[in-house]
Amino acid sequence: MAEIRACTLCAGRFAATATAHEPRPVVRFRPKARLLIAGRAPGARVHTAQEPFRNASGDRLRHWTGLAKAEFPDRDRVAVVPMAFCFPGHDATGSDLLAPPICAATGRVRVMAALPGLDRLLLVGGAAQRWHPDRRAGVGATVAFWRDHAPRVFPLPHPSRRTTEWQKRHPWFAAKAVPARQQAVRAALENP
């Protein structure tokens, strides 16, 4: 964790973005964690607050997992380690830049090795799903076949407001996948 927080590998890259920001990795974990939440990269608000999923997407993610707000920052139980540890920045139009793959290439294996007690993996979005095995082509297909991965791995779409329309078109997600995920998360956290 100390090495990740001190990382400056992307300093030049981030300085050249429209946001011209410095690296500020946002990861949360301790070796005893039972649940891993892996997404693409911290967003601008998370970069500023230095707290993962501190936004409406976090509220939706907590609902999907059954985690209470007070449980979410419990590093001894819940690890939050995105594929890219820092906010990648915005381009000149204000759009999010792609997350640099260097974090996954240089630190991901070591982080996973430092979490021997993981019982459940929540893979939020395509970047996390591509890194972990047993995925299908595309986020929608991987999430649709969530039973193929359960109970250890649960693929999720990104919990942004853009997912609202997707959920309306796929009512099985709220009816079947969300309750199963909530139950699996609770079992992982309550049964060490």
In the chain, the percentage of residues whose pLDDT exceeds 70 is 97
13-22, pLDDT tens digit by residue?
999 999 999 9
28-58, pLDDT tens digit by residue?
999 999 999 999 999 898 999 988 887 888 8
User: What is the band of 105 on the pLDDT scale with cuts at 50, 70, 90?
Assistant: confident
Please give the domain boundaries of the chain with CATH numbers for all domains: 27-84+99-190 (3.40.470.10)
125-174, pLDDT tens digit by residue?
988 998 876 666 788 888 998 998 888 899 999 998 889 999 999 999 99
Q: Residue 162: count other Cβ atoms within 10 Å of its Cβ.
A: 10
Average pLDDT, the chain: 90
State how far the Cα of 79 lies from the Cα of 69, in Å rounded to an integer: 14
Give long-range contacts, CB 8 A cutoff, 24+ apart: 10-19.
10/86, 10/100, 10/102, 13/100, 14/86, 14/88, 14/89, 17/88, 17/89, 17/90, 17/91, 17/97, 18/89, 18/90, 18/91, 18/92, 18/94, 19/44, 19/87, 19/89, 19/90
* pTM of the full structure: 0.91
User: What is the band of 101 on the pLDDT scale with cuts at 50, 70, 90?
Assistant: confident
